[in-house]
Amino acid sequence: MIRPAVPSDVESLVELVHALAEYERSPGSVEIRADQLGGALFGDSPTVFAHVAEEDGRVVGMAIWFRTFSTWTGRHGIYLEDLYVRDEARGHGVGRALVTALATIARTSGYARLDWSVLDWNASAIRFYESLGAVPMDEWTGYRLAGRALDALGSAGPVEE
């Protein structure tokens, strides 16, 4: 069963985020706490959304996402931040069902697209995404400003005109 996450799912979502980081060979990178995720998902002005896959009362998969906006299309989109399915639930259509739920939201909301990133070495995920009809954005390179570089640039103060 695929459904929107509820507050009682937050601990399971954090656990799955840690499992995803382990799978992506970066377990030490996760800093999120349950109160942070809960606030982002269920606070006064939610900025992040989540759907879960549940089997026999246990959360076995998740899709954490947020809305984007394209100035080219003039419409919102969805950015899939994390998609993860527990090992024992893989190969049973859970991942497809989660992505289908987001595609349905995008379609019924009039959104232009559904975007995400995948690690270059994750051949099984790439095959899965391409089986859905997704195409790689080869001409685009993702960039990130974080840590000391973000602090340095952010502490420079506003630019005067």
The answer to whether 92 and 56 are in contact (CB under 8 A) is no
Q: What pLDDT is stored for residue 43 in this prediction?
A: 95
Single out the catalytic residue among 84, 111, 129, 143: 129
**DSSP state letters, 13-76:** HHHHHHHHHHHTT-GGG----HHHHHHHHHSSS---EEEEEEETTEEEEEEEEEEEEETTTTEE
| CA–CA dist 128, 119 (Å, integer) | 13
Active site residue 129: yes
Using left for φ > 0, alpha for ψ between -120 and 50, and beta otherwise, residue 56 falls in left
- CA pseudo-torsion sign 33, 93, 134, 2: negative
Structural domains of the chain, ranges and CATH numbers in brackets = 2-154 (3.40.630.30)
- Stretches where the chain sits below pLDDT 70 are 159-161
Q: What pLDDT is stored for residue 142 in this prediction?
A: 87
Q: What pLDDT is stored for residue 30 in this prediction?
A: 95
Residue 37 token pair: 């995720």
Chain segment 128-156, per-residue pLDDT in tens: 999 999 999 988 888 989 999 999 999 97
